[in-house]
Chains A and B, each alone.
Chain A
Amino acid sequence: MGLFRYTRRTFARELFLLAIGAVFAVPFYIVIVLSLKTNAQIMTSPLSLPTHPDWQNYVQMWKGTSSGTVTIGRSLINSIVITVVSVVVLILVGATCGYTLARRQSKLSTALYFVFVAGLIMPFELGLIPLYVAFRHDHLVGTYVGIILLQAGLLTPLSVFLYAGFIRALPREYEEAAQVDGASLWRTLFRVVLPLLRPITGTVAVLTGLFCWNDFFYPLIFLSGTSKQTLPVGVFQFTGDFTDQWNLIFPTVVIALAPMAAFYLFAQKQFIKGFTGGIRG
């Protein structure tokens, strides 16, 4: 049965897919090559390999814009702080609530589980304006606390949903054994349950971290023009200040894309698992 042998047709298919791959890779080639050229070179020969890579673009980009907005370096730090803290909050909040929902077998916990599912579907754009008004009133606009609260709030249903689903499939025996041995609730949670949750915690961290890191809409509204602006907002303002100066825009784009691209290469399985969890689970 030659169904899965490497035949001449497979070779043709391979070439075809490699060609599509090359098309998909063009934007990455462009952004790297152009970030290393002067604007004059970009006008004359944009797509050739840079013979003399020009790192000046990166130096100038790193210094920031003349209009006094926050530098890209500072935006990078803001993004890291906001993403890391939000993810930690989402893990704690999601794991504890998911545990309760999955382990309690009452009508109330089932009902609450469906409330969370409804919360997942609920159109969150609608809440944007009231949240902005409330945050403005409480001086949370332009603060770490405000944006972390926002990201945690918006992504909580996702985190709880993932944890609850995972814990339901987890045998109770471990916890019962710990209990038999006299462990307290907290000890059981931290020493027994939490280690068992490692696979799903990885998924939750990667998925919510990705959404936090890449989010632009909320940081634009809640952080724009403040010292706490995140990387995407920083890139947006930087490009606004340097319209059409691709030699300066592209180093910023490279800096904005590089951390996530590197992380992806390192934890690719987790990323794909996060997006495809619903298929096999």
Chain B
Amino acid sequence: MPAVRERGPDVHRAHGRRTRRIVTAIRPARNYAGPRRAPWLLAVPAVALLIVFRFVAPIEGARYAFTNWDGIGPAKWIGLRNFVEIWNSPVTRGAIWNTLKLAIGSVLVVNAVGLGLALGLNRTVKSRHILRSLFFLPVVLSPLASAYIWGYIFDYHGAVNRLLGALGLSSWERPWLGDPHWALWAVFVLVVWQFSGLAMVIFLAGLQGIPQELDEAAAVDGASSWLRFRRVTLPLLAPAITISSTLTLIFGLRIFDQILALTSGGPDNATETLATQVYEQTFENGLFGYGAAIALVLGVLVTAIVITQLVLLRTREARA
């Protein structure tokens, strides 16, 4: 990032002024004193949007969280009662756990798969370009629409059960999305399919920043491929790991579309997450205050976990 630059030579400025005077005679231009004087007016629309959407609205939302507002009548301040209810209700408490399980599980597995794919596809493999495109494709597609494909795959009459039947494992067939024990796993598989490509491209970008000579030098010194990975590649991938795990964590904590398409939070609330609960409590049950409280829990959770993770990984990066 360039620091404050020295001002240009004065001759330049004088010359500029003179030229401008001539030009002004032809076409009256406003006084423009160069890039350093970019008018604040230019920043106003973005700043206004920022303040309204990212500060005023969330702060207002945080205030609703302490009321029993139903969206129409007057709101009454009820202190922490919404949060007590969130903790006491098995549905919302389950939603917190499901959110954490999905997010943490996806951070670990998505990044492991993504790293494996990136290492495998970094060099030499002939089909690497087409495979990279394929693995990244799910990332850019509508999570809602693509989730319906998985809805069929896990359907009772769907692909997984047909495959099991064909393999003579009919006893393993089950309604994957209708079984409270398995539904969250189905969502998890979809998440891995959807986001591994994202981790992969981030790791590939990181790998491309590592000079080949380092790897070669280590190999010449007789380091095994595992040792080269552990001591050369992995430390240099630290920034990529930070970015990839933070992004997948945020996507995991906010998961909504995939759930609504696959299970709508069912069966028996087994796949409710905080985001689906915000939607249901607020817009289906009309509990605006309670919904805002769940949104506050989600927001605080996202911010706290992401900041913790960034701090931890940054210290690791610094040590590496």
Listed in ascending order, the chain A residues whose CB lies under 8 Å from chain B are: 1, 3-6, 10, 13-14, 16-18, 20-21, 24-28, 30-31, 34, 43, 46-47, 92-94, 96-101, 103-105, 112, 115-116, 119, 121-131, 133-134, 150, 152-154, 156-157, 159-160, 168-169, 172, 175-176, 179-185, 187-188, 210, 213-214, 216-217, 220-221, 231-232, 235-236, 239, 244, 246, 249-250, 252-253, 256-257, 260-261, 264-265, 268, 271-272, 275-276, 278-280
> Interface with A: B78-86, B89-97, B179-187, B213-221, which one?
B213-221
Contact flag A127-B1 (CB < 8 Å), given A10-B125, A182-B19: no
A–B Cβ pairs within 8 angstroms, 17 of them:
A6-B124, A30-B149, A94-B46, A96-B42, A97-B43, A101-B43, A103-B36, A105-B36, A112-B43, A124-B54, A130-B61, A153-B49, A172-B5, A175-B34, A176-B35, A179-B33, A260-B140
**C-alpha gap A105/B278 in the complex (Å):** 42
> Are B279 and A221 neighbours in the complex by a CB distance under 8 Å?
yes
Q: Is the CB of A249 within 8 A of B71?
A: no
Select which of B34, B145, B158, B261 is within 8 A of A176 by beta carbon.
B34
Segment of B103-111, B288-296, B312-320 in the binding face: B288-296
Q: Are B58 and A127 in contact (CB under 8 A)?
A: yes
Task: Confirm or deny: B138 has a beta carbon within 8 angstroms of a beta carbon on chain A.
Answer: yes
Are A112's CB and B205's CB within 8 A? no
Cβ of B232 under 8 Å from chain A: no
Q: Is B64 an interface residue (CB 8 A)?
A: yes
Collect the chain B residues with CB atoms within 8 Å of residue A1's CB.
Answer: 216, 219-220
CB-nearest residue of chain B to A254? B145
A135 to B208, CA, bound (A): 46
User: Which residues 255-270 of B sit at the A interface, judged by CB distance below 8 A?
Assistant: 256-257, 260-261
4 additional contacts (CB under 8 A) given A187-B29, A235-B145: A124-B58, A126-B295, A128-B295, A257-B142
Q: How far is the CA of A275 from the CA of B201 in the complex (A)?
A: 8
Q: Which of A18, A100, A264 contacts B42 (CB 8 A)?
A: A100
Asked whether B143 is an interface residue with its Cβ less than 8 Å from the other chain, the reply is yes
Q: What is the chain A residue whose CB lies nearest that of B145?
A: A256
Cβ contacts B40-73/A at 8 Å (1 or 0 each)? 1011011101101111111111101000000100
| Chain A neighbourhood of B52, CB < 8 A | 153
Q: Is the CB of A232 within 8 A of B134?
A: no
Nearest CB of B to A107, in Å: 12
Residue of A nearest to B282 (CB): A129
Q: Which of the listed residues B30, B35, B162 has the most CB atoms from chain A within 10 Å of its own CB?
A: B35
Whole-angstrom CA separation of A253 from B149 in the bound complex: 8
Contact B131 A21 (CB under 8 A): yes
